[in-house]
Amino acid sequence: MSEATVSLRLRRVMLWSGIAVLCTWVLVPIYLIALGAFGGRSGVFRWPKNLLPWDSGLAAMQTFLAVEGVWAAAFNGAFVACLTMLFSLLLGAPAGYALARYRFAGQDAFRMLVILTRAFPLAILALPLTVTFIRTGLYDTPVGVALVHTALALPFTALVSSSLFMGIPRELEEAAWVFGCTGFQAFRRIVLPLALPGLAAAAIFAFVISWNEVFAASVLTVRNKTLTAYLLTVLAESPLHFRFAGGFLLILPSIIFIFAVRKYLFAMWGIANR
Amino acid sequence: MAGITIDRIEKKFGAVTALQQLSLKVEDGEFIALLGPSGCGKTTLLRIIAGLESQTSGRVLIGERDVSALPPRQRGLAMVFQNYAVFPHMTVYENVAFGLRMKGASDAEVKKQVERAAGLLHIEPYLERYPAKLSGGQRQRVAVARALAVEPAVLLMDEPLSNLDALLRLEMRSELKAVLASSGTTTVYVTHDQTEAMGLADRIAVMHKGVIEQIDRPQALYERPATRFVGGFVGSPPMNFIDLPVADGTARLGGFSSPVPLRNGTVTAGIRAEDIDVAEDGGLPFDVGVCEPLGATLLLTGRIDGQLARVSVRPDSRVRPGDRLGLTPNAGRIVWIDPADGKAMGAAA
Ligand SMILES: Nc1ncnc2c1ncn2[C@@H]1O[C@H](COP(=O)(O)OP(=O)(O)OP(=O)(O)O)[C@@H](O)[C@H]1O
Ligand SMILES: [Mg+2]
């Protein structure tokens, strides 16, 4: 065997072991949570663990889903997340477009400010926010929570969409203008279709940020809790297999998100390379 | 009626002046080539005509209309971009149809025009493909087809054939010329390939550092360059420039002498490589350095009195590196240039 083939083989071994380590890193915890969620009371406490889902059943999950308020909270959480997605896209995408296409005074400062919104811990903002929300009637409403979540997600949507728009050559828009488009028509016919996959990814990202956020959602609501906030209050007093079921339910959207976004991320690269 | 008048256009990018008070008049239906080295402002001028770049000062008129302040879509023109700007999310068909659709043409009309333009540029086999699956040259042809499909009154093209192989380029060149001439389209064509400009254009505007050095018919430009830059840029090989001492209105070097429009000092003689008779001796003494057989001619590179010169001779000439020859330039075709400012002097007095 020549040296080249040996090193090639070595490289391949290293590649695959790297992949294996990463997969284990991500998948094993998820698998264990799933086992806990479906294994019922006995499954959770058994040691050594039964690593194969022999005695699993939907029983634990079903009891969990039958608990008072879970469905309402899940619906609430999804509603808040959708609002967050909408708000952060409507605000973030135009900001990103402006950052990408126009030179204006204070552009870099604006960029910094967008990121700086994340520099203030929510814990500090919580009290003034609560007071303001009670005054304005936003307290304990999905819209109120969505607004706070939008503030959290906005830096991502603005910056992601700005680099997205930067990846779309200006000449494409200019060609559209020359061939009879107004500025808005060129945006709708050329820029938007090209940016759509990336914007979708940014939107789903905003969704997941909102879905997973627990602090603001807990502080700013009493009855209209999101699923995350609800589980935090309920699960503290619940048996272990309930907590696993709740945890699994929380992970689920993220997993779906990753699979949904996967091919869009590749589509984005396709445009950038052209 | 769609001539273009460019009236003292100036363009500054911050401290850089890309165009200096440039004026140009393109007649209706005329084909003008903008020829110049990289970075001389050709694309900038084209973008100002199209309305994609705003001028610092000056006016642009298309037909009799002042379009200086109008957005691109209201200027009634089409453009081929230097980097194609083909829409990646549309099929070739939809790309070519884009301008027509924006005008609200009927499907039948769109189909007819797309097929005509596609046929002209030999892209029929790719009509259903997406641009990502085309080569650079194919994409470039899509960009040209997209511009031709709208049958514009004014067509702006920024190096539209630069990415094609030599054979295809030659073919496209002649087809383009025929189509644009028959449709009477006013065309501004940017290129830095001087054979392309010579072959296509009614008139060539040679640009250098943001100004038009000379604008004239290709042959006139070739024979009587107005400046040393034009002579050196147009034609291959470039014009020879030989400095000669002048005494009493006569330039003299070796066995060569000629009356010049100057009493005393130095003059530069601009001489084309093919406008020279070669003999064993007499005339300008020429030391041959390199011989390149080019097929139709034999190109000799060497020195006259230490100055670089190139001479075309018959391909069967028996010349070898190291030979010394005597050159007699064709007197009527010498361009006398003032070495101080690089401008041609009036016809020999
Ligand atoms: N957006 C810009 N900002 C600053 N300078 C610019 C800009 N666009 C062009 N320039 C400058 O203006 C000058 C002319 O550029 P232009 O693109 O018109 O050249 P060109 O003749 O088309 O060259 P090429 O043959 O390489 O395409 C160059 O010196 C260039 O650096
Ligand atoms: Mg250019």
Please report, for the domain that includes residue B316, its CATH number: 2.40.50.140
Q: Considering its fold, how many domains does chain A have in total?
A: 2
Q: Would the CB atoms of A174 and B98 count as touching at under 8 Å?
A: no
Q: Are residues A47 and A74 in the same domain?
A: no
| pLDDT score for A274 | 37
> CB of B347 within 8 A of CB of B299?
no
- For the ranges A96-100, A107-111, B237-241, the lowest mean pLDDT is seen at A107-111
Nearest CA in chain A to B131: A274
- Nearest-CA residue for ligand 1 atom 25 is B38
Q: Which domain holds residue A52?
A: 3-59
Beta-carbon contacts of B85 under 8 Å, excluding residues fewer than 6 positions away, are A169, A171, A172, A174, A175, B143
What DSSP state is assigned to residue A105?
T
Residue A80 has which token pair? Answer: 């808040």
Interface size A-B, in CB pairs within 8 Å, comes to 57
Average pLDDT over residues B23-41: 94
Check whether residue A147 and residue A187 sit in a common domain: yes
pLDDT at A192 over 70: yes
Q: Are residues B197 and B300 in the same domain?
A: no
Q: A89 and A124: one domain?
A: yes
* The pLDDT value given to residue B220: 93
| A194 in B contact zone (CB under 8 Å) | yes
pLDDT of B275 > 70? The answer is yes
Indicate the top mutation candidate among B16, B159, B196 to test ligand 1's pocket, ranked by most ligand atoms within 8 A of CB: B16
Residue B348 covered by a domain: no
Residues B199 and B311 in one domain: no
Q: Has residue A250 been placed in a domain?
A: no
A29 touches chain B (CB under 8 A): no
CA of B157 to the centre of ligand 2 (A): 10
Residues A81 and A158 occupy one common structural domain? yes
Closest-CA distance, B258 to chain A, in angstroms, reads 55
Centre of ligand 1 to C-alpha B10, Å, is 14
Is B86 in the same domain as B208?
Answer: yes
Contact A210, A85 (CB under 8 A): yes
Cβ separation B85–A182 shorter than 8 A? no
**If you average pLDDT over residues A251-261, what whole number do you get?**
74
Residues A87 and A46 grouped into a single domain: no
Note the pLDDT of residue B144: 93
pLDDT greater than 90 at residue B218:
yes
- The answer as to whether B257 is a domain residue is yes
At residue B320, φ and ψ (nearest 5 deg) are -125, 150
Query: If pLDDT is split at 50, 70 and 90, which confidence band does A255 have?
Result: confident
Nearest CA to ligand 1 atom 7: B13
Q: Is residue A103 part of a domain?
A: yes
Same domain membership, residue B108 and residue B253: no
pLDDT score recorded for residue A18: 93
Say whether pLDDT at B112 is over 90: yes
Total domain count, chain B: 2
Do A165 and A219 reside in the same domain of the chain?
yes
Pocket test for ligand 1, best of B12, B13, B189, B209 (most atoms within 8 A of CB): B13
In a domain, A133, yes or no: yes
- Report pLDDT for A144: 93
Within 155-194 of B, beta carbons closer than 8 Å to A belong to none
Whether residue B96 lies within 8 A of chain A, CB to CB, comes out as no
Ligand nearest to the CA of B37: 1
Q: Which residues of A fall within a CB distance of 8 Å from B150?
A: 179
- Candidate from B72, B89, B131 with C-beta closest to A178: B72
Q: How confident is the model at residue A270 (pLDDT cuts 50, 70, 90)?
A: very low
Mean pLDDT of the A184-202 span: 89
- Calculate how far, in angstroms, residue B88's C-alpha sits from the geometric centre of ligand 2: 22
A271 touches chain B (CB under 8 A): yes
Is the pLDDT assigned to residue A56 strictly greater than 70?
Answer: no
Write down the ipTM of this complex.
0.86
- Asked if A177 has any chain B CB less than 8 Å from its own CB, the reply is yes
**High-pLDDT (> 90) share of chain A, %:** 31
Q: Considering only CA atoms, which of A141, A143, A159 is closest in space to residue A91?
A: A159
Residue A176 and residue A52 share a domain: no
CB proximity A179 to B under 8 Å: yes
In a domain, residue A192? The reply is yes
- Residues B118, B146, single domain; the answer is yes
Q: Once rounded to an integer, what is the mean pLDDT over residues B293-317?
A: 91
Among candidates A176, A180, A270 on the partner chain, residue whose Cβ is nearest the Cβ of B103: A180
Q: What is the mean pLDDT of residues B76-88?
A: 92
* More confident site: A31 or A189: A189
**Are A116 and A213 contained in the same domain?**
yes
Minimum distance, in Å, between the CA of residue A175 and any CA atom of chain B: 7
Question: What's the confidence (pLDDT) of residue B164?
Answer: 86
Mean pLDDT on B97-105? 94
**Within a domain: residue B72?**
yes
pLDDT at B246: 92
Regarding whether B331 and B316 lie in a shared domain, the answer is yes
How far apart CA A202 and CA A205 sit, in angstroms, is 5
Contact B73 A177 (CB under 8 A): yes
CB atoms A175 and B81 under 8 Å: yes
Q: Domain span at residue B95?
A: 4-227
Q: Is B223 in the same domain as B234?
A: no
CATH number at residue A209: 1.10.3720.10
pLDDT exceeds cutoff 50 at A269: no
User: Which pLDDT value is given to residue A44?
Assistant: 66
Specify if B279 maps to a domain. yes
User: Does residue A36 lie in a domain region?
Assistant: yes
Say if residue B191 is in the same domain as residue B237. no
One domain, residues A82 and A197: yes
What confidence category does residue B174 fall into, taking pLDDT thresholds of 50, 70 and 90? Answer: confident
Last residue of a domain, one of B167, B193, B227: B227
Q: What is the nearest CA distance from A82 to chain B, expressed in angstroms?
A: 28
CA nearest A271 in B: which residue?
B88
B18 belongs to a structural domain? yes
- Using a cut of 0.95, tell me whether the model's pTM lies above it: no
d(CA A269, CA A197): 10
More confident residue, A242 or B158: B158
Nearest Cα residue to B155 out of B37, B59, B30, B52? B30
Identify the residues whose C-beta falls under 6 Å from ligand 1.
Answer: B 13, 16, 18, 36, 38-44, 82, 192
Amino acid A263: pLDDT: 64
Contact B88 A178 (CB under 8 A): no
3-state secondary structure of A58: coil
Q: A32-46, A89-103, B150-164, B203-217: lowest mean pLDDT where?
A: A32-46
**A172 at the B interface (CB within 8 A)?**
yes
Closest ligand relative to B18 C-alpha: 1
Mean pLDDT of B23-48: 94
Quickly state the pLDDT bin for B336 (edges 50, 70, 90). very high
Shortest-distance Cα residue to atom 26 of ligand 1? B38
In terms of domains, do B217 and B235 share one?
A: no
Residue B343 lies in a domain: no
Percent of chain A with pLDDT over 70: 86
pLDDT higher than threshold 70 for residue B190 = yes
Based on the domain organization, do A106 and A220 belong to the same domain?
Answer: yes
CATH number of the domain at B142, please.
3.40.50.300
- Among the residue ranges A39-48, B65-74, B302-311, the one predicted with the least confidence is A39-48
Residues B174 and B241 in one domain: no
Q: Based on the fold, state whether residues A157 and A232 are members of the same structural domain.
A: yes
Residue B86 binned pLDDT confidence (cut-offs 50, 70, 90): very high
- Percentage above 90 pLDDT, chain B: 70
Query: pLDDT above 70 covers what percent of chain B?
Result: 99
Q: How much is the pLDDT for A62?
A: 77
**Confidence bin at A182 (pLDDT 50/70/90):** very high
Greater confidence, A111 or B217? Answer: B217
Q: Does residue B345 fall inside a structural domain?
A: no
Domain final residue, candidates B227, B245, B274: B227
Domain assignment present for residue A145? The answer is yes
Q: How far is CA A179 from CA A102, A185, B48, B153, B176, in A?
A: 22, 11, 16, 13, 20
Same structural domain, B50 and B174:
yes
> Which one is predicted more confidently, A254 or A207?
A207
* Domain match, B238 and B282 both: yes
Which atom in ligand 1 lies closest to the alpha carbon of residue B36? 21
Give the pLDDT of residue A266.
58
pLDDT > 50? residue A273: no
B346, part of any domain:
no
Whole-number average pLDDT of chain B: 91
Question: Would you say residue A251 lies in a domain?
Answer: no
The residue whose C-alpha atom lies closest to atom 4 belonging to ligand 1 is B13
Mutation site, A179, A188, A273, interface B, largest B CB count within 10 A: A179
Residue where a domain stops, chosen among B210, B227, B244: B227
Residue A47's pLDDT band, with cuts at 50, 70 and 90, is: low
| Protein residue with its CA nearest to atom 28 in ligand 1 | B39
Neighbours of ion ligand 2 (CB under 5 A): B 43, 82
Same domain as A125, residue A44: no
User: Tell me: the pLDDT tens digits for A118-166?
Assistant: 788 888 888 888 999 999 998 999 999 999 999 999 988 998 899 889 9
pLDDT at residue B348, rounded to an integer:
39
Q: Which chain A residues are Cβ-neighbours of B153 within 8 angstroms?
A: none
